[in-house]
Amino acid sequence: MQIPHSTRHLAATHTTDMMSMIELDPPGFQPPRPMAGDEGSRRTVLYGAYTVFSVFQPVFSVSHRRAIGYHASLRAHDEHAQQVPSHEVFTQAARRGDLLELGRLAESLHLGNFNAFDSHDEWLFLSLHPAALMDTSYGDALLAGLKALGLPPQRVVLEVSEQAGGETTRFAEIIDALRKSGFLIALDGFGAKHSNIDRVWNLRPDIVTLDRCILAQASEHSHIERVLPGLVSLLHESGQLVLMGGLTTERDALIALECNVDFVQGAFFAGPSVEPVKPQTAAGLMDSLSAALRERVAARERAQAARLAPYVSALETAAAQLVAGQPAAEATAPLLKLGETARCFILDGSGRQIGDNVLPPGRASQRAKRFRPLLHSEGASWERRPYFIQAMRAPGQVHLTPPYLSINEAHLCVTASIAAHTPGGTQVLCVDINWEVAAHRN
């Protein structure tokens, strides 16, 4: 069986720092040579007592409810069929000078075994080491290997580490050349360490994979979970599909779905295997997750509605008093007594603030003092704010914003607003509710 060669070797991803700790072979010892093998219908690489083989973890489309690709990785076992870390095999190969040859054969495993899946639609995700990627002949060699198997390059997603290649122009040129050859490009590990959105804009990948650390932080901190949908939306608007991997629990999966990612991967859905998943593996699970997410969102909305109900009622009463001609200070007094009211303010029909903010007496926070230059807003224009736009579209109804960063004190707040026809003309009465306080209490 002939397996196509490429100039890239997966072993470049494995450290050789352990080489100095391994005993040298005795004089005259002839080390085994890596060679192609097979286990039934599966391609393998034989290297001494080791057998190296491919495993594939499916990548699922949330919308399609099925696997749309497979991420390839390596596994190894010894002559007793006991699994061993693959890096041990490559460390031995590095010491004996077989690293390049073993790496070439190992990469071809993924291509050949993936081709044996008898599928014509899914992608093969291949992780690239930066050193291999910078090899100018890599793309040509990989194309030759694909041609020998009858696989078009459009079936292969090349995963590039977000930290790879630095900021060099040469790196971007290589990525662009691979894209023009037909490969899809995935930027892997976005959000780790010193990630920068400029990287996305410069490399223009087809897919961005969010780093596992983002998911871990979102699971622990509600404010990070809250901003994740905005990050995914930014990537979508930049022209990228988004994959979230490392999903091991239902909570992980629900976070991913609520963020509106396109693709998911992880042990919660399916682990690495030598065989493709069945077509309906994810369909039922996706349906269950969608139902759980709907209930989760509905429960959160019910809790928020209950918490905001006193403010809605007090705002409606205050608006009625303004319509009756009462001064703003008297009309808003009940609102200011509520525990989480940050301020009340009134806008004219063009969104310009009438008078200064009306603050609860004796409740100035240290944060408010630090942002004192932003506290006085008389004459400020809020015409582009959702609370003004929505109120003007439907006068007489209370409108609530999602939590957002208040410019007045630079903290999260929810603004409730209502437009009313007062003796002074159409006005919009607004109340900012301190959402950080509310969030910490729940």
- The predicted pLDDT at position 27 comes to 42
- pLDDT tens, residue by residue, 137-192: 777 888 888 898 889 999 999 998 876 555 567 888 888 889 999 999 999 988 76
DSSP secondary structure letters along 251-271 = HHHHHHHHTT-SEE-STTT--
pTM of structure: 0.79
Domains of the chain: 10-281 (3.20.20.450), 310-441 (3.30.450.20)
Tell me how far CA of residue 205 lies from CA of 68, 91, 198, 442, in angstroms: 18, 32, 12, 39
The residue among 88 and 248 whose pLDDT is bigger is 248
d(CA 350, CA 399) in angstroms, rounded, equals 17
In 3D space, the residue among 280, 255, 252 whose CA is nearest the CA of residue 267 turns out to be: 252
Mean pLDDT score, 419-425 = 93
- pLDDT tens, residue by residue, 45-69: 888 888 888 899 999 999 999 999 9
Judged on CB neighbours under 10 Å (0-12, 13-18, 19+), 103 is buried
Two structure tokens written together for 150: 């009858």
The DSSP secondary-structure symbol of 190 reads E
On the question of pLDDT at 234 being above 90, the answer is yes
232: three-class secondary structure by DSSP: helix
Mean pLDDT score, 67-94 = 87
Specify which residues 42 forms β-bridges with: 39
Share of the chain above pLDDT 70, in %: 83
The mean of the pLDDT values for the chain is: 83
Tell me how far CA of residue 388 lies from CA of 357, 408, 418, in angstroms: 16, 16, 8
Mean pLDDT score, 28-48 = 62
- pLDDT tens, residue by residue, 406-415: 887 777 899 9
The residue whose two tokens read 């700790």 is: 21
The DSSP secondary-structure symbol of 153 reads G
Specify which residues 77 forms β-bridges with: 51, 83
The residue among 4 and 36 whose pLDDT is bigger is 36
